[in-house]
């Protein structure tokens, strides 16, 4: 039994999409479950599409999610370039493996599985146009290759001359004629394709001395001893080619098993989830915030306030489920429960609402003091920061662990994200000076002033050491005077909060303190007299 080795092999052409993170996650879970290795390999054979920063973005994103590669990335978060015991297959960046691919392409030519093609891109374009005008699809295959410019249609001397004197040629795979390729996919089962529908894919390009994806991918998977290839559904159509390449090299015995994951779909409408959907519907499609070369910012789950555990949990359940009703999983639990057999075949439509729900669940799992710490970090960088503090409690007191923990304890059931604490708790840090008009109109009447005066008396004669006794004092006063509970309470609430929201009145008074509470009630009385 070989050691289980899987890889995540993204192309550094931009920020890693959440669908890509899911692919990486499934690879990771699959490897870890069997105590195998999860490898990161950068597939940058297309220099034209290279985007600076994208590689680091991929590494940082995986790190944030806790999906750490065993191989390919060093402890400093850099792609490994030289071989060592831990990273025996370095370099892990295909552009730096350039020199190893040519011999494999040559080998295929020698064995008759590939050939040289000299058609210029203009030639190819012209042929495609011609076919298109006849409404026929152009496939570079056993039929059309005879009329194209290649080592199969040209004589040996001319072929040799062109190889030596030109440098725009390529090596193409010689797709066999009329053969049924039988394949197996770990998620989808048996798949059959006739080779007549496939074309002679380019494997290697003289112009930039680099292989294309197909060759580099197969060679590297072989060299890196990959046992399972878990990748996106977009690769399913090239699976026959990949099978045939393993066969041509004679590597069938160690050919990895394949699993193709379905795509993540738009929350609404048709098609796969794209960056634009996030902008349009207001949710992130990337794990981390990304700024492109034009300075456009794409939001990230991290910056939007998601916990990585929630993000990972949500992603894991988008296309996989354990067969039980459990929905909340830590990364360790996922590692134990995950199985490719239970991965869903059909595309999963992404639901931003459910993503929020996951975050809420994780937020509630945190202790009040953990939340307090996270809340403090948000609070000090918010607009509120400069205004925090009131007469009886200066800023230091309000930002103390004790005070913030109390605030979080009172409010944690009302939020899905830490940043939501701020608009919900502003009155706990700043004295309100504006009052919601509709609330004022609804509850204020000619008796309000005297009512509030009596309540001030009740509060000031109470020690205010616990919320229960404050509550009792207020309710007793209300009962003694025969006021309506709702009116009295809401009027006090208006004074303390400025609007109609928040936890119990007594809890608020206990938190902000007797002095501040009385001051706020006086403020409202003064306000009514203006």
Partner RNA sequence: GGUCCAUUCGUCUAAAGGUUAGGACUCAAGAUUUUCAUUCUUGCAAUAGGGGUUCGAUUCCCCUAUGGACUACCA
Nearer CB in complex with RNA: 258/390:
258
Nearer CB in complex with RNA: 399/418:
418
Residue 114 in tokens = 């590939």
Range in contact with RNA (rule: CB under 7 A) among 155-163, 259-267, 331-339, 447-455: 259-267
| All residues at 6 or more sequence positions from 513 whose CB lies less than 8 Å from its CB, including other chains | 392, 393, 464
Nearer CB in complex with RNA: 194/481:
194
Q: Which of 56, 184, 351, 367 binds RNA (CB under 7 A)?
A: 351
Q: CA–CA separation, 146 vs 140, rounded Å?
A: 10
Range in contact with RNA (rule: CB under 7 A) among 79-87, 137-145, 385-393, 399-407: 137-145
Chain positions 467 to 486 lying near RNA, rule: CB under 7 A, are: 471, 485-486
Interaction of residue 353 with RNA, rule CB under 7 A? yes
Interaction of residue 96 with RNA, rule CB under 7 A? no
327-352: b or e for each residue (b if 16 or more CB lie within 10 Å)?
eebebeebbebbebeebeeebbebee
Burial class for 241, CB neighbours closer than 10 Å (0-12, 13-18, 19+): buried
Residue 154 CB neighbours (<10 A): 18
Q: CA–CA separation, 123 vs 326, rounded Å?
A: 58
Please identify which of the residues 63, 206, 275, 419 carries the catalytic annotation: 275
Give the shortest CB-120-to-RNA separation in angstroms. 5
Give the shortest CB-477-to-RNA separation in angstroms. 13
Examine the residue annotation and report whether 275 is marked as an active-site residue of this protein. Answer: yes
Q: Which of 119, 221, 228, 277 binds RNA (CB under 7 A)?
A: 119
Interaction of residue 302 with RNA, rule CB under 7 A? no
Task: Report which of 270, 248, 450, 282 is spatially closest to residue 347, judged by C-alpha positions.
Answer: 270
Nearer CB in complex with RNA: 106/413:
413
Task: State how far Cα 49 lies from the chain centre.
Answer: 22
Give the shortest CB-19-to-RNA separation in angstroms. 11
Chain positions 193 to 252 lying near RNA, rule: CB under 7 A, are: 193-194, 197, 199, 201-202, 205, 207, 210, 212-214, 233-238
Q: CA–CA separation, 198 vs 132, rounded Å?
A: 18
Interaction of residue 168 with RNA, rule CB under 7 A? yes
Range in contact with RNA (rule: CB under 7 A) among 27-35, 121-129, 250-258, 427-435: 121-129
Q: What is the dihedral of CA 268, 272, 278, 280, to 10 degrees?
A: -50
Nearer CB in complex with RNA: 3/481:
481
Chain positions 13 to 32 lying near RNA, rule: CB under 7 A, are: 13
Consecutive H or E run containing 516: helix 514-529
Please check whether residue 378 is in contact with residue 421, taking contact to mean a CB–CB distance below 8 angstroms: yes
Give the shortest CB-396-to-RNA separation in angstroms. 28
Burial class for 131, CB neighbours closer than 10 Å (0-12, 13-18, 19+): middle
Please check whether residue 448 is in contact with residue 488, taking contact to mean a CB–CB distance below 8 angstroms: no
Give the shortest CB-343-to-RNA separation in angstroms. 8
Range in contact with RNA (rule: CB under 7 A) among 71-79, 277-285, 331-339, 501-509: 501-509
Q: Which of 60, 70, 138, 477 binds RNA (CB under 7 A)?
A: 138
Tokens 């996650």 correspond to: 25
Range in contact with RNA (rule: CB under 7 A) among 22-30, 83-91, 185-193, 395-403: 185-193
Residue 17 in tokens = 């999409």
Tokens 């410019």 correspond to: 149
437-458: b or e for each residue (b if 16 or more CB lie within 10 Å)?
eebbeebbeeebeebbebbbeb
Give the shortest CB-273-to-RNA separation in angstroms. 9
Interaction of residue 181 with RNA, rule CB under 7 A? no
Please check whether residue 162 is in contact with residue 192, taking contact to mean a CB–CB distance below 8 angstroms: no
Nearer CB in complex with RNA: 128/381:
128
Per-state percent for the chain, helix, strand, coil, to nearest 5: 50, 10, 40
Chain positions 503 to 522 lying near RNA, rule: CB under 7 A, are: 503-507
Give the shortest CB-4-to-RNA separation in angstroms. 22
Report the first-to-last Cα separation within the chain, whole angstroms: 85
Range in contact with RNA (rule: CB under 7 A) among 64-72, 222-230, 351-359, 390-398: 351-359
Tell me the per-residue interface mask from 309 to 348 with RNA, x by CB under 7 A, - otherwise: --------xxx-x-x-x-x--------------x-xxxxx
Chain positions 373 to 432 lying near RNA, rule: CB under 7 A, are: 413-414
Half-sphere exposure of 358 (CA within 13 A, CB side): 25
Enzyme catalytic residues: 275
């Amino acid at each position: 039994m070989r050691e289980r080795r899987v890889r995540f092999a993204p192309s550094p052409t931009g920020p890693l999409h959440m669908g890509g993170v899911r692919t990486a996650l499934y690879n990771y879970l699959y490897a870890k479950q069997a105590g195998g290795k999860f490898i990161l390999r950068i597939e940058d054979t297309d220099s034209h599409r290279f985007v600076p920063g994208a590689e680091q973005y991929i590494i940082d994103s995986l790190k944030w999610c806790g999906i750490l590669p065993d191989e390919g990335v060093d402890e400093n978060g850099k792609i490994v370039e030289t071989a060592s015991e831990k990273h025996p297959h370095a370099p892990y960046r295909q552009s730096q493996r350039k020199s190893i691919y040519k011999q494999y392409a040559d080998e295929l030519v020698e064995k008759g599985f590939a050939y040289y093609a000299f058609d210029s891109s203009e030639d190819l374009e012209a042929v495609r146009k011609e076919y298109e005008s006849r409404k026929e699809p152009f496939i570079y295959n056993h039929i059309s290759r005879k009329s194209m410019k290649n080592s199969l249609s040209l004589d040996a001397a001319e072929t040799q001359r062109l190889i030596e004197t030109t440098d725009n040629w390529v090596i193409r795979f010689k797709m066999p004629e009329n053969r049924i390729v039988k394949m197996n996919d770990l998620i989808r089962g048996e798949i059959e394709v006739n080779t007549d529908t496939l074309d002679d894919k380019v494997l290697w390009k003289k112009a930039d001395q680099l292989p294309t994806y197909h060759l580099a991918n197969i060679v590297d998977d072989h060299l890196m001893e990959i046992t399972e290839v878990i990748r996106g559904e977009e690769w399913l159509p090239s699976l026959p080619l990949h099978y045939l390449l393993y066969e041509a090299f004679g590597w069938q015995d160690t050919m990895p098993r394949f699993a193709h994951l379905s795509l993540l779909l738009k929350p609404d409408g048709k098609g796969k989830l794209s960056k634009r959907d996030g902008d349009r519907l207001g949710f992130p499609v990337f794990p981390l915030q990304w700024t492109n070369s034009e300075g456009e910012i794409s939001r990230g789950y991290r910056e939007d306030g998601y916990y990585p555990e929630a993000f990972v949990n949500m992603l894991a359940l988008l296309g996989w489920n354990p067969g039980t009703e459990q929905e909340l999983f830590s990364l360790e639990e996922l590692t134990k429960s995950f199985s490719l057999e239970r991965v869903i075949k059909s595309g999963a439509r992404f639901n931003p609402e459910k993503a929020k729900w996951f975050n809420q669940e994780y937020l509630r799992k945190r202790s009040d003091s953990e939340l307090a710490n996270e809340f403090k970090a948000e609070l000090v960088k918010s607009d509120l920061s400069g205004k925090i503090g009131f007469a009886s409690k200066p800023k230091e007191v309000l930002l103390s662990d004790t005070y913030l923990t109390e605030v979080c304890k009172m409010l944690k059931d009302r939020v899905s994200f830490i940043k939501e604490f701020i608009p919900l708790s502003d009155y706990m840090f700043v004295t309100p000076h504006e009052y919601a008009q509709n609330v004022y109109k609804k509850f204020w009447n000619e008796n309000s002033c005297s009512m509030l005066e009596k309540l001030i008396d009740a509060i000031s004669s109470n020690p205010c050491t616990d919320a229960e006794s404050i509550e009792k004092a207020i309710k007793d006063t209300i009962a003694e005077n025969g006021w309506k509970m709702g009116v009295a309470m809401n009027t006090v609430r208006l004074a303390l909060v400025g609007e109609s929201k928040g936890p119990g009145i007594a809890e608020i008074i206990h938190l902000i303190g007797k002095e501040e509470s009385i001051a706020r009630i006086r403020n409202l009385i003064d306000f009514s007299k203006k």
